[in-house]
Copies of this chain bind each other. A is one copy, B any other.
Amino acid sequence: MQLPEIYDLVGSELEETRSLLRQLLCSEVPAIAQMFSQINICGGKLLRPALVFLSGKICGGICRKHIAIAAVLEMVHAATLVHDDVLDEAWQRRYHRTINSLHGNEAAVLMGDLLFSQAFYLCSSLDCKITSQRIASTANTVCEGELMQLCHRGSYDLSEAQYLEIVSRKTASLMAVCCYLGARAAEAQEEICQALESFGHNLGIAFQIMDDITDLTGDEKVTGKTLGTDIVKEKFTLPCIHYLGHCGPEKTLEFQELLSNPSNSTNNILFDRLTQTDSIDYAYKQACSYSQVAQESLSVLHQTDLREGLIRLAQSVVSFSRQGIA
């Protein structure tokens, strides 16, 4: 099963989500309506809604509640992306210019807030305390993860455990809650909800490690988003953490000097160093290992096309041709 086929398993639900998002993300103020269209939320592949629907369908079926949950979670995700692009001074996202690059940081901060409050509004309409609280506490966890990452910028002694804690919060928590709530809204037993939550969590970690590798080694034309921002912002991710843990004091000093005086050749030298210590390979193997744990979480489920779809999704996250999935 290839990625388009996996998405096809929940194609009509994704279309309903797009339609709901288009309906919600509009404004009678023309300038705001224009910025909503430039955020281009429906232009993404809607990985998080897909997780909600695949988890729901695997547990019995999709109802109206699933569509709303999926839209809320995608809006929370979009809000964090809009603010992330401000923090990263990113120029491109989903093959389009970012809001901050088009309209400035101030407009991007406010548009992110508007997305948050729209998510909050739709979430209220669910009229389900447990679902709302889970979504709100996850939004909180995501923000805390982003803040922890910010506080650790420039920390040459960031440990792998600290990195994984940040990744768990800022990325994995949202994918985990997509799967958990998808299953729960289909009235699955708690044990099954938690198995899917574990799938989402481990998928999220694998996804973020791959995203971080791509930021160091990828091609902007292929990914459709600004890359290389982690190094510029001294945000050290798994390959660099591994390198700094293995290169010795002399090379650490060289690394620090390289980053404090960046030039056109910085990226090439860096790539060369990371390759010498097999640091990119190490990070890739870690991502594969989380993808494997994600797949194993699904062993409690019957073998169906839908389970196969989730397994293939976890495999595709660690494939280097996966730039299209999120």
Contacts and interface: CB of A to CB of B under 8 A. Distances in A.
Contacts of A116: 113, 116-117, 120, 139
B29 A110 contact: no
A27 B111 contact: no
A124 B109 contact: no
Interface string A97-119: 00000000111011111101110
Most chain B beta-carbon contacts within 10 A, residue among A31, A109, A133: A109
Copies of the chain in the assembly: 2
A143 B114 contact: yes
A150 B105 CA distance: 11
Contacts of A29: 144, 147-148, 151
Interface residues of A, number: 44
Contacts of A50: none
A117 B129 contact: no
A123 interface: yes
Interface string A75-95: 000011001001100000000
B143 A110 contact: yes
A125 B129 CA distance: 6
**Which one of A116, A124, A140, A150 has the greatest number of beta carbons of chain B within 10 Å?**
A124
A136 B135 CA distance: 14
A121 interface: yes
Between A32, A80, A121, the greatest number of chain B beta carbons within 10 A of the residue's beta carbon is seen for A121
A171 B219 CA distance: 45
A143 to B, nearest CB: 4
A298 to B, nearest CB: 29
Interface string A146-184: 111011000000000000000000000000000000000
A303 B112 CA distance: 44
B124 A132 contact: yes
B144 A27 contact: yes
A254 interface: no
Nearest to A124: B132
Nearest to A152: B31
Interface of A: 27, 29, 31-32, 35, 79-80, 83, 86-87, 105-107, 109-114, 116-118, 120-121, 123-125, 127, 129, 132-133, 135-137, 139-140, 142-144, 146-148, 150-151
10 contacts: A31-B147, A32-B148, A32-B151, A83-B110, A86-B109, A87-B106, A107-B150, A113-B143, A117-B139, A120-B123
